[in-house]
Each structure stands twice: as structure tokens, then as C-alpha cells.
Amino acid sequence: MIKVLSYLKPYRIAVAIALFLTFTELAVELVQPLLMAKIIDNGILKSDLAIVMKWGVIMLGFSLISFAAGVINSFYSAHASQSFGFDVRMSLFEKVQSFSFANFNKFSAASLITRMTNDITQIQNTLFMSLRIMLRAPLLIIGGLVMAFVVNVKLALILSVVVPFLFIFLTWVMNKGGMLFKTVQEKLDSMNNVMRENLNGIRLIKTFNRRKYEVKRFTDANEELKVRTVKALRLMEVTMPILLFIMNISILGVLWFGNIQVNTGSVKVGEVVAIVNYATRITGAFSIFSFIIMAFSRARASSKRIVEVLDTAVDLSDHADADSSLLIKKGKIEFKNVTFQYPGTKTFALENISFIAHPGETVAILGATGSGKTSLFQLIPRLYDACSGEVSIDGMDVRQMKQENLRSQIGFVPQEALLFTGTVKENIAWGKEDASMDEIIDAAKNAQIYETINNLPNKLETKLGQKGVNLSGGQKQRLSIARAIVRKPKILLLDDSTSALDMRTEAKLLHALKAYTCTILIITQKISTAMEADKILLLENGRLLDEGNHESLLESSELYRQIFRSQLREEKINYA
């Protein structure tokens, strides 16, 4: 909690003002019974109207001060808590941006979203309440007790027996509540996860008629959340009646003992009234306190979840001695005896891979599914690090380069074309923030998508739906390629990104890409694409089986010949 609360530092003045005003309100509240005792003992019981008027006006003045303090306090509390929430959300978001894939394995996307929204809101609300009323409750209890001693020690002793016991009880409730609310937040993660998967896969769910199954999955997650929340709230529900019961008994004790003392003349009536008044206020404060304890234990659970993200060590950051002057100039890629395995797995995704892609060359990577093609790609922009061996660009080990420098010269088109909500133009310019209109159009033309864009209702200004739902698979692929080439990268990585294109469009695209002075690595399943490349790498089970151009591989590799023959047959069948 302390780490999260350190985000309040920039707003310490607002916090200090809010707390000062809380104390002002509190002071007024504590003085009121004392004034009342004076009115009763010196005014009403002695029938002195002037005294009643005098103290009455003073009481009214204090009330006005308390009212003004309350309003200003709300203003500063809201400012501090909202700004705090904004800052924590920003920090979390930036932290998540720096995560490696291994880090992402630790938290589900749904959990990260819950942490960034619901968990922060819990803390934000509790903070607002703390600055408004939370401190008032415990201070009112302590202050009420102290004032009761000032009024009459004997009667106050009755209260002093009960109050510490109740404090201990509330501390226990807070710890227990913290554990219960942690589970509630986890169940919220699970429910959000089901919801997220459901929305992402809605087309699949409809075509597979899995609506009932999905409703059941959601009902189960929702039920779990309800059960856990009810369990947590039940603890809080019994807390308040227990507190009220004990406090009311102590008030009865004060009245009973006070009655005896008044009869013997050792205590005044006003004093008994004042003590009962303090006891009532303490009771009120305890009931607010039990409510606050609930919010606080929930905020504590939430802050632990936030700190968990903030404290996660990013295992793929720039090396301390990474040279910021190193930039990709030519685009020569070299793998030297590279072996790689995904964190937490036992088998190698790549084993002892060595090859060179010279500047300007087009290298096709061919291999069965699961043979390690995408894994090989991911080592180039350092999405993962090789376990042994070296990946170098222009002779520089990628681990020696600043990630920002390295990635700024790489155009990457992933297997699944992912577009963002926004216009077509924004989606292309996403690859280069300061891209001019000419550059955007050029990229669109070379990616063979310009004609399609011109047929859209608002051309480049057409808004794409979420994940580009109003484009076909092949159109999305070409738009993703435009996004990658707009930055005129030195290295272009195409991960099976032309799979949805017909042969004519693909040939035109590959031809247009030749105009870019970059090294192109293209993962493909199509022999027709591989044939166009200067070099073909043949992967099998994470090993580099063979390399060469189309002609040489036809001679040297039986596997290549098999793939070639099978695809040739398919084509013949297709054209027949």
C-alpha cells in the first residue's frame, strides 16, 4: 500500500489542506458537546437565557466553520484522489508497454485490464473517502474518548474499556477482509477474461452454435464472483451490528452509573449528557469505521495487485552497456549457431541455426507448421533473446543495441494482420508517426492496397471498425504491409503475410518491394513465393535443413522437391 500511496507525493499540498480541514471539522465536532454541557449546566439549569444565547451563537459559528471546511475539503480530496488515479494508471500502462512476452505470460490481458481500471478505482475511492471522512472516524473515536476524560474521568473509564477492544476487533476484520477481497478481484479477472474471449471470438461462437456453452461459461464465472463477493461482504455485515451492540451496552453502563453518581451529587447532569453525547458520536464513528474498513481492505488487496505489476522485473530490457549510437545502416542479418527455447518449455524451438541474409537480399523461410519460422523472426527485433549463439545485424549483436534503435529500422508484419480502430490513413501512418501524405500513398500503392482504399466511402479517411472488421483478410494483410513499409525499413519481416493474396497480387507486391533498399525475410508456405527469393531457408523441427536458391534446392533437397511437386500438382488441379 505504501508504494502505491507514494504516488500521492506530487499532491501533498492538496492532501495537507484536505487533512487540515478534516481536523477543523473534527475539532468543531468534539467541542460541540462541551458547549452543550455549558448551556445545560450554566444556562438551562440556572434559567440564564443570556448564557444560553451566548453559547448558542458560538455553537452556530462553529457549525458554519465546519460546513465551509467540509466543502473545501471535498474539493481538494477529489483533486488529489483523481490525479493520483491518473498517475498510477499511466505508470501501470507504461510498465505494461515495457513487458517482454515472458512477462505477459504471468498476467492475463483481462487481469491487466482489471488492475488498470477496477483496482485503481477501488484505491481512488478509498483515498477520496480517507481524505473526507476516513481519518475523522478514528480521530473522532480517540478525540471523543479524550474529551470524555476531560468531562468526567469516572464515567469515561466505562468507555475506555470498550474502545480498545473494538479497535483490535476491527484490525482483525481488516486483515480477514483483505484476503477475501483479493479473491473477489481474482474472480473479477476470470469473469473479464471470459467476456474478452467471448467478444473476440463472437464470429466463431455464432458459426459453431456455441452460444449456450458460452452463456454457461459466463454464468459460472459470474456466479463465482457473486459467491466470493457475498462472502466478503458478509464479514462486513456482521461487523457493524457487533460494534453497535457493544457500544450501546457501554452507553447503558454510563447512564446507569451516571444516575447513581448524580444522585450522590458527585457528577452533574450536564456531564452525564456530554459523556452520553460523546459515546453516541463514538458509536457513529465506529459504524462509519466498519464501512471504511471494508473499503480499506479492498483497496489494500487492489494495491497489492497493482504493485505486483509495477514490481515485475522486465527480463528483456536494454543492456546496461547497450550503445545508443549503434544504428542499422545496411540490413545484413546473421545468425551464428543460434539456439532458442521459450521460457518455461523443455524443447528447443530453434537449434543451432546459422545463416546470413545480405543487404538487399530477399530470403524466403519455408517449413512445416511448428518448424520454428516465427520463432526465428522474433529473435531479430529482440522480442526474445537467443539462449545461445548470436543474432547480429550489420555485424552488431542485437543485444548490444538499444531496442528503440533496433526496432526503428525494422518493418514487421505479423502472421495475424492486426489493425487499430481509426482511419485507414492513421493505420498506415501508425508505422511512421511523421509520414507525409505522399509517403502514405506510396506505401499503399506498393502494398497493392491503394485501389481498394480508393473504393472505400471516404478513401484514406475511412474509419475501420474494431480490428478492421470491415476489410477482408487479404486487404487487412496488405494494409499491415503498407504500415510496415511506410517507414522504409532496412529490414522487412513478413510472417506469412501474403497467404491470403492471390498469386497475381502477390507477384505484383513482391515486385514493388524490390524498389525498397531493404533486406526482406519472408515466411511462406508457397513455393511460388519462395522461387522469387534470392535464398530459401528450409526449416524442419527447429533445425536448418538446407539453404540455397530454388534451382540448387531442387537438386540438393529431397524435402524441397517433395514440396515443389505437391504444390505443382495442386496448381495443375486448380487450373484444370
Ligand X SMILES: Nc1ncnc2c1ncn2[C@@H]1O[C@H](COP(=O)(O)OP(=O)(O)OP(=O)(O)O)[C@@H](O)[C@H]1O
Please, which residue, 288 or 349, has the CB nearer to ligand X?
Answer: 349
Query: Least distance (Å) from ligand X to the CB of residue 481?
Result: 18
Please, which residue, 162 or 536, has the CB nearer to ligand X?
Answer: 536
Closest by CA to 315, choosing from 384, 379, 376, is 384
417: DSSP letter: -
Please, which residue, 23 or 342, has the CB nearer to ligand X?
Answer: 342
Query: Least distance (Å) from ligand X to the CB of residue 343?
Result: 8
Please, which residue, 186 or 540, has the CB nearer to ligand X?
Answer: 540
Q: CA quadruple 377, 383, 388, 390: dihedral positive or negative?
A: positive
Query: Least distance (Å) from ligand X to the CB of residue 370?
Result: 4
Closest by CA to 414, choosing from 496, 469, 513, is 496
Query: Least distance (Å) from ligand X to the CB of residue 432?
Result: 27
Residues 6 or more apart in contact with residue 205 via CB below 8 angstroms = 198, 211, 214
Please, which residue, 342 or 430, has the CB nearer to ligand X?
Answer: 342
Residues that bind ligand X (CB under 6 A): 342, 345, 349, 367, 369-375, 415
Query: Least distance (Å) from ligand X to the CB of residue 497?
Result: 12
Strands 422-423 and 463-464: antiparallel
Residues 6 or more apart in contact with residue 548 via CB below 8 angstroms = 535, 536, 556, 557
Residue 322 phi/psi, 5-degree rounding, is -60, 135
Q: Which amino acid is at 376?
A: L
Rounded Cα–Cα distance for residues 155 and 45 (Å): 21
Cα 292 to chain centroid, rounded: 25
Please, which residue, 349 or 563, has the CB nearer to ligand X?
Answer: 349
Instruction: Residue 499: count other Cβ atoms within 10 Å of its Cβ.
Output: 17
Q: Which amino acid is at 186?
A: E
Contact 444, 428 (CB under 8 A): yes
Query: Least distance (Å) from ligand X to the CB of residue 367?
Result: 5
387: DSSP letter: S
Task: List the grid coordinates of 47.
Answer: 434559567
Residue 367 phi/psi, 5-degree rounding, is 175, 160
Query: Least distance (Å) from ligand X to the CB of residue 537?
Result: 11
Query: Least distance (Å) from ligand X to the CB of residue 375?
Result: 3
Instruction: Residue 32: count other Cβ atoms within 10 Å of its Cβ.
Output: 17
Query: Least distance (Å) from ligand X to the CB of residue 495?
Result: 7
What is the H or E stretch that residue 339 is in? strand 333-340
Edge-first strand listing for the sheet containing 491-495 = 410-413, 491-495, 519-523, 362-367, 535-540, 543-548
Residue with cell 488498470: 116
Please, which residue, 144 or 372, has the CB nearer to ligand X?
Answer: 372
Residues 6 or more apart in contact with residue 116 via CB below 8 angstroms = 89, 92, 93, 96
Closest by CA to 493, choosing from 564, 563, 431, is 431
What is the H or E stretch that residue 176 is in? helix 153-200
Contact 323, 402 (CB under 8 A): yes
Cα 212 to chain centroid, rounded: 30
Query: Least distance (Å) from ligand X to the CB of residue 390?
Result: 19
Please, which residue, 373 or 478, has the CB nearer to ligand X?
Answer: 373
Closest by CA to 110, choosing from 191, 11, 171, is 191
Query: Least distance (Å) from ligand X to the CB of residue 372?
Result: 4
Please, which residue, 275 or 544, has the CB nearer to ligand X?
Answer: 544
Binning the chain into helix, strand and coil, the percentages to the nearest 5 are: 65, 10, 20
Please, which residue, 97 or 345, has the CB nearer to ligand X?
Answer: 345
Query: Least distance (Å) from ligand X to the CB of residue 415?
Result: 6
Rounded Cα–Cα distance for residues 85 and 10 (Å): 12
Please, which residue, 270 or 367, has the CB nearer to ligand X?
Answer: 367
Query: Least distance (Å) from ligand X to the CB of residue 109?
Result: 14
Please, which residue, 338 or 435, has the CB nearer to ligand X?
Answer: 338
Rounded Cα–Cα distance for residues 292 and 240 (Å): 11
Contact 318, 392 (CB under 8 A): no
Please, which residue, 6 or 369, has the CB nearer to ligand X?
Answer: 369
Please, which residue, 342 or 516, has the CB nearer to ligand X?
Answer: 342
Query: Least distance (Å) from ligand X to the CB of residue 351?
Result: 11
